[in-house]
Each structure stands twice: as structure tokens, then as C-alpha cells.
Amino acid sequence: MSQRVTVQNSPDVDVIRAEYEQLWTDMQHADAKKAARILERSRRNLLPLGQRLTERLQPLRSHLLWAIPLGTAAAVSASYVAFIWVALWVE
């Protein structure tokens, strides 16, 4: 298995630095929100896979995400029971 080479130890460090400087110059003239999204996406891509998955699944840990489907299922079930109860009562 080959060993990872960091940017600071890379023989192409000057090329990478020049590309970074060009990107930074281009981002100075771009929309601020777009530049922030690009930086956030790049930062996320540099994370290890496990940490990247944890960060991506973070919205699924919200209680509201689970409460809405469960509440909907409970409301549908309650309306079904109420409909049957009213139908039997009217009969």
C-alpha cells in the first residue's frame, strides 16, 4: 500500500499553491454565498470518510424529522378508527 503524501511534502507544492492563489483570486469576484458553498464542500471533502458520513447524516438526528411521519401515521390511524366508530354508531 502506498503512503499518503501531504501537500506540504509534495513535489508539486508550488503548482498546488499557484492553483490555490488563482482560485482565491477568482473567488474574490464571485458571489459570496457561492464561494462559501464551494469552501464548505471542499472542507467536507477533505474529512475522513467516517467523519464525512457523520456530518452528512446530522440532519437525520433531529427529533422533528421522526415526529412528523409518526404523527401522520397516528392521525391516519385515529381518523380510520373514528370513521369505523361513527359508521358502527350510525348503523
Q: Are residues 33 and 66 in the same domain?
A: no
Can you tell me the distance from the alpha carbon of 2 to that of 8, in angstroms, rounded to the nearest whole number?
A: 17
- pLDDT surpasses 70 at 37: yes
Q: Give the residue numbers spanning the domain of 81.
A: 62-91
Model confidence at 3: pLDDT above 80? no
Same domain, 33 and 72: no
Q: What is the pLDDT of residue 60?
A: 73
DSSP state letter for 31: -
Q: How many domains does the chain have?
A: 2
- Tell whether the model's pLDDT for residue 1 goes beyond 70: no
Do both 22 and 37 map to the same domain?
yes
Instruction: Retrieve residue 68's grid coordinates.
Output: 412528523
Residue pLDDT, tens place only, 45-75: 888 888 888 888 887 777 777 788 889 999 9
Strands of the chain, DSSP E: none
User: pTM of the full predicted structure?
Assistant: 0.51
> Do 4 and 40 reside in the same domain of the chain?
yes
Share of the chain above pLDDT 90, in %: 36
- Regarding whether 88 and 74 lie in a shared domain, the answer is yes
Q: Is there a single domain that holds both residue 10 and residue 38?
A: yes
